[in-house]
Homo-oligomer: A and B are copies of this chain.
Amino acid sequence: MGYLSDIEIARAATKRPILEIGAALGIPPEALLPFGHDKAKITADFIANIETRPAGKLILVTAINPTPAGEGKTTTTVGLGDGLNAIGKRAAVCIREASLGPCFGMKGGAAGGGRAQVVPMEDINLHFTGDFHAITSAHNLLAAMIDNHIYWGNELDIDPRRVTWRRVMDMNDRALREVVASLGGVSNGYPRQTGFDITVASEVMAILCLARDLEDLRARLGEIIIGYTRAKAPVTARDLKADGAMAVLLAQALLPNLVQTLEYTPAFVHGGPFANIAHGCNSVMATRTALRLADFVVTEAGFGADLGAEKFLDIKCRQAGLAPDAVVIVATVRALKMNGGVTKDALGSENVEAVRHGCANLGRHIANVKSFGLPVVVAINHFVTDTEAEVRAVQEFVAGHGSEAILCRHWAEGSAGITELATRVAEIAERGAAQFDFLYPDDMPLFEKMETIAKRIYRADEVVADASIRERLEVWEKAGYGHLPICMAKTQYSFTTDPARRGAPTGFPIPIREVRLAAGAGFIVAICGEIMTMPGLPRVPAAETIGFDARGEIHGLF
Contacts and interface: CB of A to CB of B under 8 A. Distances in A.
Given A144-B537, A241-B544, A547-B245, A183 B174 contact: no
A258 to B, nearest CB: 14
A93 to B, nearest CB: 24
A100 to B, nearest CB: 6
A51 to B, nearest CB: 16
Interface string A228-240: 0000000000001
Interface in A502-558: 536-537, 539, 541-548, 552, 554, 556-557
Contact of A37 (B34, B172, B542): B34
| Main secondary structure on A side of the interface with B | mixed
A546 B183 contact: no
A385 interface: no
B541 A145 contact: yes
A127 interface: yes
Contacts of A30: 37
B180 A537 contact: no
A177 B184 contact: yes
Contacts of A176: 167, 181
B144 A173 contact: yes
A331 interface: no
A170 interface: yes
A404 B556 CA distance: 58
A108 interface: no
Contacts of A245: 104, 542-544, 546-547, 556
Given A137-B170, A175-B182, A33 B33 contact: no
Interface in A178-199: 178-184, 187-189, 193, 195
Interface string A249-282: 1011000000000000000000000000000000
B179 A180 contact: yes
A244 interface: yes
Contacts of A136: 133
A142 to B, nearest CB: 9
A175 B193 contact: no
Contact of A180 (B33, B180, B541): B180
B170 A187 contact: no
Contacts of A167: 176
Interface in A137-183: 137, 140-141, 143-145, 147-148, 151-153, 167, 169-183
A137 B536 CA distance: 15
A214 interface: yes
30 contacts: A33-B36, A34-B36, A35-B35, A104-B141, A126-B248, A127-B133, A127-B134, A127-B137, A133-B136, A137-B171, A140-B169, A147-B173, A148-B536, A148-B541, A152-B539, A153-B539, A174-B187, A174-B189, A175-B189, A176-B181, A177-B183, A178-B182, A178-B183, A179-B181, A179-B182, A179-B183, A218-B547, A241-B545, A245-B543, A248-B554
Interface of A: 30, 33-37, 44, 100, 104, 126-127, 130, 133-134, 136-137, 140-141, 143-145, 147-148, 151-153, 167, 169-184, 187-189, 193, 195, 214, 218, 240-245, 247-249, 251-252, 536-537, 539, 541-548, 552, 554, 556-557
